[in-house]
Amino acid sequence: MRQKNKKNSYKYIAFEGIDKSGKTTIAEKFADYLSIEYPVFLTKEPGAKSGVFRDLLLSQRWNKKTELFLFLADRADGVELIKKRLTEGIVISDRSLYSTLAYQGYGEGIDIDFLTELNRFATDNLFPDVVFLIDIDLDTMKKRSSQADAIESKSIEFFKRVREGYLRLADRFDNFFVIDGTKTIEKVFNQVVDIWNSL
């Protein structure tokens, strides 16, 4: 993670977490917050550039290799747009390459180092500067679940591995900040803002 000399040298911010963690809501609120001071571009994965890959990934179940390469294709398709936006302001992304490490790596058992190299290739070595991991337990995820897409409908054991993987990534990378997503939206958001202002 690169060292910053001033606040806006951290320009690529990702929100991560298992499904139903609330990361999408918090990412949107944080984008609104930063837009008072900076040009802000909010994006999401899958679907940073096109809805084609998102529709494919969420509408049906794929084997784990096909799923992986669909996510990588989506990420490679969107990276040029993200890089362009980074020259104009701050990019806030609902998910990033770390989702692949957590879901396809720890969740599906694909080698983490192999996935990291694939993502380096897909993104031209573009990694988020700051990652907010909105962490919830599995009971909370189940309580918040209603209709589930192809990813969300995977087993509870799968999501247990994904959550554990995220926490291992947070221990490994110093640009990760873990936030308790079981709190109210306002409390979660305020913690994100407090961390951001302390950087």
The model's confidence at residue 175, banded by pLDDT at 50, 70 and 90, is very high
More confident residue, 48 or 138: 138
Asked if residue 82 is part of any domain, the answer here is: yes
Asked if residue 8 is part of any domain, the answer here is: no
Q: Distance (Å, rounded) from C-alpha 121 to C-alpha 4? A: 25
When divided into structural domains, the chain yields a total of 1
Q: Distance (Å, rounded) from C-alpha 47 to C-alpha 75? A: 8
CATH number for the domain spanning 69: value is 3.40.50.300
Asked if residue 129 is part of any domain, the answer here is: yes
pTM for the predicted model, two decimal places: 0.91
Radius of gyration of the chain (CA): 16
Asked if residue 1 is part of any domain, the answer here is: no
Judged against a pLDDT cut of 50, whether residue 3 lies above it is answered with no
Q: Are 91 and 49 in contact (CB under 8 A)?
A: no
The model's confidence at residue 8, banded by pLDDT at 50, 70 and 90, is low
Percent of the residues in the chain that have a pLDDT greater than 90, as a whole number = 77
Asked if residue 134 is part of any domain, the answer here is: yes
The model's confidence at residue 2, banded by pLDDT at 50, 70 and 90, is very low
Asked if residue 100 is part of any domain, the answer here is: yes
CA angle 28, 8, 37 (to 5 degrees): 55
Half-sphere exposure of 4 (CA within 13 A, CB side): 13
Q: H/E/C letters for each residue in the chain?
A: CCCCCCHHHCCEEEEECCCCCCHHHHHHHHHHHHCCCCCEEEEECCCCCCHHHHHHHHHCCCCHHHHHHHHHHHHHHHHHHHHHHHCCCEEEEECCHHHHHHHHHHHCCCCHHHHHHHHHHHHCCCCCCEEEEEECCHHHHHHHCCCCCCCCCCCHHHHHHHHHHHHHHHHHCCCEEEEECCCCHHHHHHHHHHHHHHC
Domain range for 166 is: 14-198
Asked if residue 7 is part of any domain, the answer here is: no
Asked if residue 143 is part of any domain, the answer here is: yes
* Per-residue confidence (pLDDT) for residue 48, from 0 to 100: 73
Mean of the pLDDT values across residues 119-128? Answer: 96
